[in-house]
Amino acid sequence: MQVKIENKSTVKKMLSFEIPKEDVTKELNKAYNDLKKKADVKGFRKGKIPRKVLENRFSKDVHADVAPRLIQEAFIEAIKEHDLNIVGGPQMDPPPLDPENAYVFEITVEIKPEIGDIEFEEIALKQTNYEISDGEIESQISMIQKTMAKKEKVQEERPVKDGDFVLIDYEGFLNEEPYDKTPKIENYVLGIGKEALPKEFSEKLTGAIPVQDLEVEVSYLEDYSDENLKDKTIVYKVKLKEIQEEILPEINDELAKGLGKFETLDDVRVSIRENLEKGYAQRIKHELSEQIFQNLLEKYEFEVPEVMIEGELSGITMEAEQAYAANNTTLEEAGLSKDMLKTQYRDVAEKQARRHLILDKIISQTKLELNDEELEKSFEEMAMGMNAPVDAIKNYFNMDPKQLEYYKQTQLEKKAVDIIIEKGSITKVDPDSVDQDSPEDDANTSQEDEEKQEDAVVENDAVEENTVEEDKEK
């Protein structure tokens, strides 16, 4: 067998194969001999069918069986001989097999880029020194109080004002006919000024007195996200049924008990502090990771295989589809498409792929491994975060070895980041001296699935509110 390798780029190679005619003949002879033993042809006994008859009747099937086998054997041999670190699947358009000639075909593959040893020690890092104040905790208690508020009907006859809640029915009309994309909604509670519905609703309802029928005209722009509404003028017929006001519960031990797992308000404060500490710790880890990769990505240049970028883009588009599906809509209904997202997020995907390649090199360079105890601990942490039995997590991965290997690689990447941080040159700084953007605003972290900042909240059936992000943005 002859193999010629042509470099199309630093990460893309075209392999040209030539399998000698005698090897092709040998494989065809074997295939026909096997077929002869089991073929059923009228007029001939099994095992006694002439080769010419088999060729006339089954050559297409035999060639379709032999050609892929020849290709696979040659490809595997070439990978081993030339030590090709292939990513993704091979690309090829195999020609038909000709028993009278050598079998010639080409395979295009992408390989991991060759990256020299990475200097990751003593990277200058700034660690934000977050401190939790009593005011921050009380702010979260106020947020909890608001989530437990009740809405009651305003008994006095008065006009609607900003900050009120109103109970309404509404239905959209297009060209004076009911529009099926804006069906009638009954007993909808709207916060005036909160713009859960188009702002025209709040504007029209402000000053109105229940019970009253109104018309709200909304002209949607050409670039509006909903294809069913863009560039249309919808007239909503609205019935204002009542005004409601928010009644806040007192902040005391009774409020704490209403959360389901606390006895006193101090218990709630302790829980909030613990969650804030956890949230800030994860935020610090994220910020340090961003600094690390900003340093390494600037320092180490290499070409990224297209298949890796496409893999990252597939993950991004899948997450987007799932997010829209969770809101009972689709990308198309939002005026988007997979191709649009892939174009928009290509740079993000390439950066993610670069991070994986850098971490993979560091893992190899430092001979990092994940032992059984570390894997078990990670399963336990995942189970705790998902509020699921640890055995359920293990069973999931045991049923899908490919996912298990991916998960192990993710854990190794986390371990590599921990080592880089541990060996970094860290300077502690005050929060005011660094960019206070939310870590969740940056989608370029290699550990996004594992280390998104958790909501620093009191988490239970009654309430689940963000803390670290919302409070720092105030």
This model's pTM is above 0.85: no
Q: Residue 60, SS3?
A: helix
pLDDT at 463: 33
Check residue 433 and give its pLDDT.
67
For 19, left (φ over 0), alpha (ψ -120 to 50), or beta? Answer: beta
User: Which one-letter DSSP state was computed for residue 439?
Assistant: G
Q: In the chain, what is the greatest distance between 2 CA atoms, to the nearest angstrom?
A: 102
Q: Which domains does the chain have, with CATH numbers?
A: 2-111 (3.30.70.1050), 124-135+254-473 (1.10.3120), 150-247 (3.10.50.40)
User: What does each of the 474 residues of the chain score in pLDDT, given as a tens digit?
Assistant: 899 999 999 999 999 999 999 999 999 999 999 999 888 888 888 888 999 999 999 999 999 999 999 999 999 999 999 999 999 999 999 999 999 999 999 999 999 999 999 999 999 999 999 999 999 999 999 999 999 999 999 999 999 999 999 999 999 999 999 999 999 999 999 999 988 899 999 999 999 999 999 999 999 998 888 889 999 999 999 999 999 999 999 999 999 999 989 999 999 999 999 999 999 999 999 999 999 999 999 999 999 999 999 999 999 999 999 999 998 888 888 888 999 999 999 999 999 999 999 999 999 999 999 999 999 999 999 999 899 999 999 999 999 999 999 999 999 999 999 999 999 999 999 987 665 543 333 333 334 444 332 333 333 333 333 333 334 333
The DSSP letter of residue 431 is G
Burial group, residue 142, by CB count within 10 angstroms (0-12, 13-18, 19+): exposed
If DSSP codes are grouped into helix, strand and coil, which group holds residue 1? coil
pLDDT confidence of residue 452? 33
Query: 108 - beta bridge partners?
Result: 14, 91
Distance, C-alpha 65 to centroid of its chain = 39
pLDDT of residue 474: 36
> Which residue in the block uniquely carries the two structure tokens 């002869």?
36
